Structures are given as C-alpha cells and as structure tokens.
Amino acid sequence: MKKGKVLLITPNLKGIGGGVNRIQPSLGLMLIAQVLKDDGHIVKIHDPALEGWNNRKVIDPVNNVVTIGQSDNEISKVISDFSPDVVAISVLFANLLDSAHNIAGLIKKVNKNIKVVLGGNHISNAIIDYKWAKTDKNSNLPDYIVDLENENIDMGMAGEGEFSMRDLINGIMNNNDISKIPGLVKKIGEKKYIINPASRIHDLNVLPRPARYMVNMEGYFKIGAFHSPKSRSKRVLSVMCSRGCPEKCTFCTTPEMWGQKMRWRSTEHIMNEISNDCKDYKIGEIQFDDDTITVDKKKLFALCDQLEKLGLPWCTPNGTKVNYHLKNQLEMYKTMSNSGCYQITLACESAVQRVLDNLINKRLPVETILPSIENAKKAGMLVHTYWIIGYPGETYEEIQQTVDFAMNCGADSFSFSILNPLPGTPIYRKVMKDNLFWPGRSYNDMLFRSSLIKVDGFSNPVEFEKFVNDTNIKANLILKEKDPKRFEYKYGKGANESSLAKQT
C-alpha cells in the first residue's frame, strides 16, 4: 500500500493587539499525527500562529483587531519545502475561516494536485446548520456548505477524525473509493454533497499518546498563554481524559461534536501520557481540558489517586458543572485538592433561573451555586467562575442580577464573557433566523469579549463590550479588597487592574 506525506496545519489567529491571546498545541492534530505515523505515513504538524507569534497585522484599527502568525510567503515556503500529498487544515471556530481559506489558496498555488481537507470543530458545526437549513426554509441559513464551495478545498472531515483521517489518506494515496469513509463531506454537484455520519471512538484507550514531539513545545512554553488565565507554570501539559458531555446547553457545540454519552480513558492510559510527557518536557502544571471532568466521580477519584503521587499542580480551565454530586461534593473537592488541584473553575453561566431554564437549557438550580463555591474553598482550592451575559431574550435587569449575584458569591475570580453565537448551536440558529446581529457585525467578527448580537439595555456593541470589560475588572478586584493575602497567592505580587483585565 502506497503511503503519503501529510501536512497538518492550523490557521493564523485573530486577536486583540496588546491583549493576551491564548495559544496551545492542538491535541486533535497531535493524535491524528501519531495515528498516521503509526500507519507508515510521513507527517508534519505546523502552527503558523506560533511560528509567527510576533508578526501582528492590524485588520481593524477601530477595535484593535490583529491577525497573528506567519506571512503568506512563509506559509507557502513551509508547504513547498515539505511537498505534501495531502494538507489537512484544522479549524476550531468560524473566526479562523478567513485564514484557513487563505491557506487553502496558498496550497493550491504551490501545487494544485495537493489534496486539501478541512477538519476540526467548525466543519462539523457547518454540517449541522446546513441540515437545519434544508428542513427550515425560513432559517436564514445558507442552503449549501460554504467551505465546500471554495474551489481550493477538496473535502471535509467531520467528527472524531483520528482513524477516519487514516482511512481517507490511504484511500487518496491508493486511488481507492473514499465515498463511504465515516465523517467524509465532499461536494458532488450543485449544492449536492456526500455527508457521511461521523464515527464515534467508543474505546478511547485505542488512541495513541499525542505526538508532542512533532510540535514546538518550547515555543508554546516560552509564550506561556495556555488555556487557564493564571497558571502556576509556563510549562503546561494540556490533557483530555474523556469525551462527551451529558448536558445540552444551547450555546455549546460539545453535545453534537462529542456526544452526550461520556467516554473515559482508563487511568493507566491517562497516566502513561502524563507521566512520560511530564518527564520529557519538564512539565510544571497540568490543565485538564475535559468538558466536565467531575461527571464520573469514581473515575475522577482513581485519577486523583495517581495525580497525588505525581505531585504536580493542576486545574480545570474548561469549567465544571456546579451541581454534580452535591451530597458528597465536599469530599470530591477535597480529593481533588489533595491530589494537586489548586483551582477549580465552576461554569455558573447565569444567576437567573429563567435564563438558565428557558434560554440556556442548563439543568442548574441557582441555589446550588453558593454551596458549591463554599465547598471548593473549604477543600482548599481557589475558585474561578464562568458567567455569560447577552443571551438572546435576556433582559438588562437579568444581566444586572447575574452581575450582582456574582459579585457577592464569594468566588476568588471571575470571567464574564459575552455570549457568542457559535455555528452549530441552537442559539446561533435563533440569531440567524431572527436577524439579531448588531448592524455591521457577523460571526466572522467573533473574538473573546466581542459583542455580535443585540443586547437589551445597550445601544451598540462597543457600549456593551465596555460594560463587560469594566465588570471583569471590578469583580476581580474584590478579592484584593477582602483578602489581600489570598489575592497575592492567586495572582502574585504586583497584580493591577491592567493585568487582571488580561488574565480573566
């Protein structure tokens, strides 16, 4: 069987000039890379944003929006020098599409025979919206898959792509029929596509150890802008123990992408990755990027038992559900703390029951938030909280109610985020159907703390963005006033308003 050369690439980033723009190696690409290498292919991972980190190009002077990463010539040289048979571009969110489509064009200019595959979370979400548009003629969603109408993109791969990508590359290299490969999305006519159901990897223990040796780990460490806002170390290891989430929040893409059934790797499988990579890369902190690591308490406790032996600090930057295991929550938090968890992030979202129930579809009683925060603090952990404001249908009074509640909830720190309507979610479909975008803004303008949709009580997006930014600073100074020693423990000496605005 003929094997090929495969380039796995991520787009340049879009960020804020002078702000903290986060970057970390792609777990998905490192897993795919190892699967392909184990199958005999020659593989390269390239992150233009990392390699061109200091190259900032202003694309919106008013809002100080910049692109971060290598120039077209530099990216083209990487492609030309490696001379791949296939390039797979991984796109997490739609705001990276401009760069992804640009890279696809660069690939075809280097060699029109290179096959270009679009993967990542975005293409899976685009398919969901396309199918919705076919059933709801008033959805205002396009009745075609935009990315596949780009002549430089040959096909897409949706869902969990580790083994489907292997099968696809083998099919391409040997001119085999690829039409039935799970997850394949391919244009076959005018607004007509092959859309194969994506596969689920039921036993995550078949996954290899991510190919961190194929990426510039020292480059990521030097920048030190991993997921968690304030890390104990710049040498962070990002790990996922599980896939899936049993919830179905209307703003989140996880249930569609990873499913609602939780799948865990074995403790031995997880610790093999952690212990080896901690040694190889002199890791100083572990960050678990699971969508909710506290769902299965038995598996969590088994992991904590091994983490305690390892003796490294760890945290949960993705957020955990507030009301899991309420009767034994303090015990669970103490077990986490004793094993090295210095900070837990609680995904509160709103302090208004109507918003939680009717707008978010989040099964969370408001009255469980304060006890959970108190339990985590009693267990010895710092408590970071996530709040989202600006939902379609949320009133100004409800936004203020959430802010007031949060300010008095006793958490150590806060991230107030502006609701971004992510493609593939129910909220995005509502925004599109009811045309709720601010004039002149669309999902292409999606950035951290950028306001895209109309918010009750505010006359324009800039006004709302300022409100959220000021709220973040005010909230995160509460700890400094109430407990200066704990504030210094969390942020270090010399933290000020400017640094807090960037860290939360």
pLDDT digits (tens, 9 = 90+) for 84-119: 999 999 998 888 899 999 999 999 999 999 999 999
Of 173, 195, 217, the last residue of a domain is 195
Together in a domain, 53 and 12? yes
pLDDT at position 500 is 60
Q: What CATH number did the domain enclosing 287 receive?
A: 3.20.20.70
Task: Determine the 3-state secondary structure of 116 from DSSP.
Answer: strand
Secondary structure E strands in 141-284: 155-157, 184-189, 192-195, 236-239, 242-243, 263-264
Do the domain assignments include residue 277?
yes
Do the domain assignments include residue 306?
yes
Answer yes or no: are the C-beta atoms of 231 and 288 closer than 8 Å. Answer: no
DSSP assigned state of 191: T
pLDDT at position 446 is 76
Write the CB contacts of 260 (distance below 8 Å, at least 6 apart in sequence). Answer: 244, 245, 246, 247, 248
The Cα-based distances of 127 to 11, 145, 183, 244, 258 in angstroms read 20, 7, 10, 19, 15
Q: What phi and psi, each to the nearest 5 degrees, are found at residue 145? A: -90, 105
Name the region of 349 (left: φ>0; alpha: ψ -120 to 50; beta: rest).
Answer: left
Together in a domain, 236 and 375? yes
Which residue's structure tokens are 């530099």? 74
CA–CA gap between residue 184 and residue 195 (Å, rounded): 6
Q: Which helix (H) or strand (E) holds 341?
A: strand 341-349
Write the CB contacts of 219 (distance below 8 Å, at least 6 apart in sequence). Answer: 50, 51, 53
Together in a domain, 55 and 112? yes
Answer yes or no: are the C-beta atoms of 258 and 125 closer than 8 Å. Answer: no
CA–CA gap between residue 145 and residue 126 (Å, rounded): 7
Together in a domain, 187 and 232? no
Answer yes or no: are the C-beta atoms of 322 and 364 closer than 8 Å. Answer: yes
The Cα-based distances of 381 to 234, 316, 334, 344 in angstroms read 20, 11, 8, 7
- Token reading at 162: 């580790």
CA–CA gap between residue 237 and residue 212 (Å, rounded): 10
- Which stretches of the chain drop beneath a pLDDT of 50? none
CA–CA gap between residue 114 and residue 134 (Å, rounded): 32
DSSP assigned state of 95: G
Residue type present at position 364 = L
CA nearest 441: which of 450, 429, 449? 450
**Contacts by residues 486-490 (CB-CB < 8 Å, ≥ 24 positions apart):** 486/382, 486/412, 489/382, 490/230, 490/343, 490/382, 490/412, 490/413
Answer yes or no: are the C-beta atoms of 347 and 319 closer than 8 Å. Answer: yes
Together in a domain, 408 and 470? yes
Residue 328's domain comprises 226-419+458-503
Beta bridge partners of 42: 5
- Token reading at 196: 């194969």
Together in a domain, 169 and 235? no
In the chain, how many domains are there?
2
CA nearest 14: which of 88, 82, 64? 64
Together in a domain, 151 and 89? yes
Together in a domain, 176 and 285? no
For CA atoms 28, 30, 33, 37, give the dihedral sign: negative
Q: What CATH number did the domain enclosing 134 receive?
A: 3.40.50.280
Together in a domain, 94 and 147? yes
Do the domain assignments include residue 14?
yes
Do the domain assignments include residue 438?
no
**3-state per-residue secondary structure call for 4-48:** CEEEEECCCEEEECCCCCCCCCCHHHHHHHHHHHHCCCEEEEECH
Which residue's structure tokens are 């324009």? 460
DSSP assigned state of 144: S
CA–CA gap between residue 353 and residue 402 (Å, rounded): 10
Which residue's structure tokens are 């929550």? 329
Do the domain assignments include residue 127?
yes
Together in a domain, 476 and 345? yes
Which residue's structure tokens are 């096909």? 155
- Token reading at 107: 């690939």
Together in a domain, 271 and 346? yes
Do the domain assignments include residue 384?
yes
pLDDT at position 25 is 97
CA–CA gap between residue 255 and residue 252 (Å, rounded): 7
Do the domain assignments include residue 435?
no
- Token reading at 168: 């696809």
Q: Which helix (H) or strand (E) holds 414?
A: strand 413-418
Do the domain assignments include residue 208?
no
CA nearest 165: which of 289, 299, 6, 298? 6
Answer yes or no: are the C-beta atoms of 391 and 359 closer than 8 Å. Answer: yes
Together in a domain, 283 and 345? yes
Q: Using only the alpha carbons of the chain, give its radius of gyration.
A: 22
User: How remote is the C-alpha of 373 from its chain's centroid?
Assistant: 24
Answer yes or no: are the C-beta atoms of 255 and 247 closer than 8 Å. Answer: yes
